[in-house]
Amino acid sequence: MSNFDALSLVNPGVKQLRPYQAGKPVSELQRELGLQHVVKLASNENPLGLSEKVKTALEAELNDLVRYPDANGYYLKSRLAELNSVTTQQITLGNGSNDVLEILARTFVSDQDEVIFSQHAFVVYPLVTQAIGAKPVAVPAVDYGHDLDGMAAAITDKTKMIFIANPNNPTGTFLTTESIKAFLGKVPQNVIVVLDEAYYEYVPEAERAPSVEWIKEYPNLVVSRTFSKAYGLAGLRAGYAVSHEGIADVLNRIRQPFNMNSLSLKAAEVVLDDHAYLQKAVEVNAHGMKQLTDFCEGAGFNYIPSYGNFLTIEVGPDAEKLYDELLHEGVIVRPVTGYELPNHLRVSIGLPEENEAFIKAMKKLRG
């Protein structure tokens, strides 16, 4: 047993993988430091709590848990198709959108291929690329955001997939409609472009790209969305992709038939109709964003202007130490050293009193 070296057997890409660094769970910090009151602003979760409509629907769904879920997610897909003005054949459901991103990579990318994404972009892109043994091509960021010209210039004969997060996590940077459209025009159709819109609902409507409409003109474009952020269902795992029917067809062959469970299917379907919940989530976010940016400006901290439900703040070279000190104050934020941002901390927007707890701790520690 002790001499068995599993790492020597795995494929070379997997060998380089580091485990995903998730935000510290509240219960873990309570256990470790004996703290009663803990505020978690570390995983871009919705601070509103679960939609009441979802809660009621889930209770009714419990009796059916003895059955397998609907493998086709008929009702959810129908609602999503309607909402996005596409056919149900263009939708692929995922156990969170991370699942969809992983299925996309496994479907199209082989170990001979290259995958392009931006420096400081969402960590799942290099992760799914490396797991396949494909070559990750990280294009240096400009002003913390995607350099689409640089990404277009990085395309080679071997490029198979390009990931773009808009808005990006953990920087919150946002690409204009025109810039993405121009980029799509430069990408050959044998390269799949994945536009990850996990924070779509937080973007003011006037600034949202008509990304799903572009699929008609650019059949190599895939748009992914999630229920984990503005819809407040992170724990249930629900996400989806909209694509050309041909792409959805292969994705649906590869995905596990029950990758969305009965509860997440039901919750996602119901929350789509809870307009008041979504509106409140967006309002609370805008309010909290102002609370945090006002604090940064008053205290002299630079921050990266954000279109998401989080703010990434430049706190200086002792960011990891400050993260630790904040833990002792009962505030969990997210270090982003792994994203090549060693001087920053990412703070998710919480309820007003949660944001205030962070501000108060910052004033105490760095005031």
Ligand X SMILES: *Cc1c(COP(=O)(O)O)cnc(C)c1O
- Point out which residues bind ligand X (CB under 6 A): 44, 96-98, 122, 165, 169, 196, 198, 226, 228-229, 234, 239
CB of 165 or CB of 313, closer to ligand X = 165
Tell me the C-alpha to C-alpha distance, in Å, between residue 334 and each of 28, 167, 203: 15, 18, 22
CB of 240 or CB of 323, closer to ligand X = 240
Smallest separation (angstroms) from ligand X to the CB of 230: 11
Element (H, E) at 245: helix 245-254
CB of 97 or CB of 211, closer to ligand X = 97
Query: Which tokens go with 237?
Result: 């795992």
Query: Which tokens go with 39?
Result: 């505020």
CB of 220 or CB of 228, closer to ligand X = 228
Smallest separation (angstroms) from ligand X to the CB of 285: 14
Smallest separation (angstroms) from ligand X to the CB of 33: 27
Q: Which residues contact 101 (CB under 8 A, 6 or more apart)?
A: 94, 124, 125, 128, 163, 194, 196, 224
Smallest separation (angstroms) from ligand X to the CB of 200: 10
Count the neighbouring beta carbons within 10 Å of the beta carbon of residue 293.
16
Within its chain, how far is the Cα of 343 from the centroid?
Answer: 22
Smallest separation (angstroms) from ligand X to the CB of 360: 27
Q: Dihedral angle at the C-alpha atoms of 319, 322, 323, 329, nearest 10 degrees?
A: -170
Q: Are 236 and 46 in contact (CB under 8 A)?
A: no
Single-letter residue type at 308? G
CB of 165 or CB of 247, closer to ligand X = 165
